[in-house]
Amino acid sequence: MAKRTFSTLEAFLIFLLVIMTVITVALLTLLFVTSGTIENHKDSGNHWFSTTLGSTTTQPPPITQTPNFPSFRNFSGYYIGVGRADCTGQVSDINLMGYGKNGQNARGLLTRLFSRAFILADPDGSNRMAFVSVELCMISQRLRLEVLKRLESKYGSLYRRDNVILSAIHTHSGPAGFFQYTLYILASEGFSNRTFQYIVSGIMKSIDIAHTNLKPGKIFINKGNVANVQINRSPSSYLLNPQSERARYSSNTDKEMLVLKLVDLNGEDLGLISWFAIHPVSMNNSNHFVNSDNMGYAAYLFEQEKNKGYLPGQGPFVAGFASSNLGDVSPNILGPHCVNTGESCDNDKSTCPNGGPSMCMASGPGQDMFESTHIIGRIIYQKAKELYASASQEVTGPVLAAHQWVNMTDVSVQLNATHTVKTCKPALGYSFAAGTIDGVSGLNITQGERKEYGMCAPRFRGLQASVF
């Protein structure tokens, strides 16, 4: 058998893999040597309250029983608690997470980031759940495990992995450095324990406030379509879906907004949870300010409307604008154009004749990204306000929550009437790192590339939205 030779690109990728492995081992070793375990950190970077579990101070016993509410035992509705806390953390000397662009570091603050918690419980306290919407790009497993550990330490078995949901709004203008995976550690230029502690403390504080503020109330649901705020940023990829599937939908994006209206038994406003499919990337990859983008601006507008006389981030009403099936849904509704010539680059590879992919960038409806963020955020806020005001269908039934682990390396997929295949261990085709029309990654990689390295590499760029 003839000896196989590697192409220049293959040899470079193999070399890069070896270097990444060596750097990762070094970074992890340095992390655990210098910062120690999370339980024994000395300085969390947060001065709201102490979260050190290993101190000599006597810890209060865990709260394992449902709080007593003797005045309200047989009412129709739910116990509802809402809470909000700052989780901004570092606003300089930290990478921004989302675009994966080298050198996109934070240089200041545009808007503070918040964690918003909503706790719902049955009237008898038998079942409950906590939903937390956090103004970050993503929630890491390491982040979730630390929050669950602190919840168990404080509340016993009241809040667990099966009834606590942590959801990021997916802003691409929040801090990086809090993931445990090699790829993210490299992209973030390391793990930031200071950022990690800020975020965990903010999430915990929002849950604590919601828990303390539990009161009897009612929930109403409403939904409606939002127009003129989104496009599919990869329509050619969408067309690879079977016609039978595409025929089920009227559009290549989900335009429906779902709103939950939370009020007390007197009808006084407590909070709102809204789910809508849109990428918070009105702020493009030239941005260097920490901010919560369009969804955060919608939350700001709603809370300022309800919390008259309070400063931003204060007041009893909490508005959570949470992410949903945002995938390839972009707020940059004017579409992709070559920034050097103005011509359209709405093609399979999102590339320009002069300058390539780096010159192809989608833009929003405003004169710049700041105005576009305000325009898109305001339309989302106005629709949520309309749906909130007209919500009349009451939510009834027990509070239920579930958590399930799925082994995605062993899932059967029916290709057609005669062929069934199974998934295997995950791998990334290098086109995932191309970025999108909302901002390329800065690497010399083109969208839509189908060449694979490894049997399980994804063939099309449909997975990239989960990374960028």
* Position 340, amino acid: N
First vs last Cα of the chain: how many Å apart?
Answer: 42
Nearest Cα to 259, choosing from 388, 166, 167, 380? 388
The answer for residues whose C-beta is within 8 angstroms of residue 387's C-beta and 6 or more apart is: 222, 223, 224, 257, 259, 274
Q: Using DSSP, state whether 414 is helix, strand or coil.
A: strand
- Paired strand residues for 412: 422
pLDDT at site 276: 98
Number of helical (H) and strand (E) elements in the chain, helices listed first: 8, 21
pLDDT at site 346: 86
Q: Using DSSP, state whether 355 is helix, strand or coil.
A: coil
Q: Are 327 and 233 in contact (CB under 8 A)?
A: no
List phi, psi (to 5°) of 319. Answer: -115, 115
Rounded-to-integer distance, Cα 166 and Cα 161, Å: 10
* Burial classification of residue 367, based on how many CB atoms lie within 10 Å of its CB (0-12 exposed, 13-18 middle, 19 or more buried): exposed
Nearest Cα to 430, choosing from 407, 386, 397, 460? 460
pLDDT at site 456: 44
* Position 402, amino acid: A
pLDDT at site 95: 93
Rounded-to-integer distance, Cα 9 and Cα 128, Å: 53
For residue 82, the 8-state DSSP code is E
Annotation-wise, does 279 bind a ligand?
A: yes
Q: Using DSSP, state whether 422 is helix, strand or coil.
A: strand
pLDDT at site 158: 96
Annotation-wise, does 170 bind a ligand?
A: yes
pLDDT at site 148: 98
pTM listed for this prediction: 0.82
Question: What residues act catalytically?
Answer: 330
Q: How many CA atoms lie within 13 A of 101 on its CB side?
A: 22
Q: Using DSSP, state whether 40 is helix, strand or coil.
A: helix
Chunked mean pLDDT (size 10), the chain, 468 residues: 62 74 69 44 34 37 53 79 96 91 92 98 92 97 96 96 96 94 84 94 98 97 97 89 94 97 97 98 96 98 97 97 95 94 88 88 96 98 98 96 88 90 82 79 69 43 32
